[in-house]
Amino acid sequence: MSDKDISGKTKICALIGDPVEHTMSPVMHNAAYKKLGLDYIYIPFRVKPEQLAPAVDGLRALNVCGFNVTIPHKVSIIPVLDGLDPIAEKIGAVNTVVNTGGELRGYNTDADGFLKAMLERGVEPGGKSVVVLGAGGAARAITYILAEKVVSLTILNRQEELDWAENIAELIKEDFGKVVRVLELRDDYLAEVLHNADILVNATSVGMSPAGDKSPVPADLLRKGLVVFDVVYNPINTRLLNEAKAAGAQTISGIDMLAWQGALAFEKWTGQAAPIDLMKKEAVKMLESHED
């Protein structure tokens, strides 16, 4: 949508975070509105942590359709919302809010976005052995959404924050009666668990630009028959994915999850099927233009 198309009928969606300078959500959503001829616009707002509550009240007062939530507000937004989707409540983090007549309800589309990205690549997690690296926000969403389906789940995290991983494991035991193995993220443990794993998910920020030369997994542990999903999307082809590909593993990039989490938010706000290929293309275009 160009400026001249904005009218009193235009519906507004937003993003709140700090920082928001490098977000790819506006290009994905605005391209999708344009393609479907929807009278919507998506605008990012930088909101400092101490301004979160007044900013959310403002968005409600301004009658926005909905908004995305990113770092550092994904957890702290919960008390200022009017309700939560059960999965977002379990995960304890919100990345999408829908405004229905002034009532703000929080969702977590990272979790379903991850699953959609996997299924789209022909990877069905049912009955598989999965290893997840990390215990931060993304890892929590991913492990929770996988827990019900997979046959075995192991979480590896840095030693200093193993409590986080234990905490996710307890939640999964309570909700699904499944025992999750929790280990320190060390090469010897990685070697042991990857030997029998079907799927490896990197849900740490290791390998993210500007530290794109790093990988959380030694290359010699990657092999044919393993699916390697890296949630890091910048760069699109991380060192882990490049080394996994070279070893003959199937790879899935975090850019797929990014596009899907956006597409699922789009569907909640507009009620229409999202043009996922276009949203992904726009995100890739923006990332590649930054790499130049």
Active site residues: 74
Question: What kind and span of H or E run contains 45?
Answer: strand 40-46
Is position 206 an interface residue for ligand NAP (rule: CB under 6 A)? yes
Candidate list 138, 172, 244, 265; residue touching ligand NAP; CB under 6 A = 138
CA angle at 111 for the pair 107 and 114, rounded to the nearest 5°: 140
Question: SS3 string of 128-155?
Answer: CEEEEECCCHHHHHHHHHHHCCCCEEEE
Q: How far is CA 15 from CA 60, 174, 184, in A?
A: 13, 33, 35
Q: Which stretch binds ligand NAP (CB under 6 A): 34-42, 119-127, 200-208, 274-282?
A: 200-208
Q: Which of 258, 274, 279, 283 binds ligand NAP (CB under 6 A)?
A: 258
The closest alpha carbon to 265, from 123, 164, 116, belongs to 116
Least distance to ligand NAP, CB of residue 117, Å: 8
Give yes or no for a contact between 282 and 262, defined as CB atoms under 8 angstroms apart: no
- Give the strand pairing for 96-100 and 66-69: antiparallel
Under the binding rule (CB under 6 A), the answer on residue 136 touching ligand NAP is yes
Distance CA 196, CA 152 (A): 10
**266 contacts ligand NAP (rule: CB under 6 A):** no
State which of positions 212-251 bind ligand NAP (CB under 6 A).
216, 231-233
Site string for ligand NAP, 178-197 (x = CB under 6 A): -------x------------
Other CB atoms within a 10 A radius of the CB of residue 52 amount to: 19
Which range of residues in 2-10, 201-209, 240-248, 263-271 is near ligand NAP by CB under 6 A? 201-209
* Closer of 47 and 256 to ligand NAP (Cβ): 256
Asked if 135 interacts with ligand NAP (CB under 6 A), we say yes
Residue 63 identity:
N
Structure tokens at 85: 């989707």
Q: Which of 26, 66, 92, 137 binds ligand NAP (CB under 6 A)?
A: 137
Q: Which of 32, 52, 97, 208 binds ligand NAP (CB under 6 A)?
A: 208
Q: Out of 42, 67, 144, 164, name the contact with ligand NAP by CB under 6 A.
A: 164
63: left (phi over 0), alpha (psi -120 to 50) or beta: left
The answer to the question of residue 69 lying near ligand NAP (CB under 6 A) is: no
The residues binding ligand NAP (CB under 6 A) are 110, 113, 134-139, 157-158, 160-161, 164, 185, 203-206, 208, 216, 231-233, 254, 257-258, 261
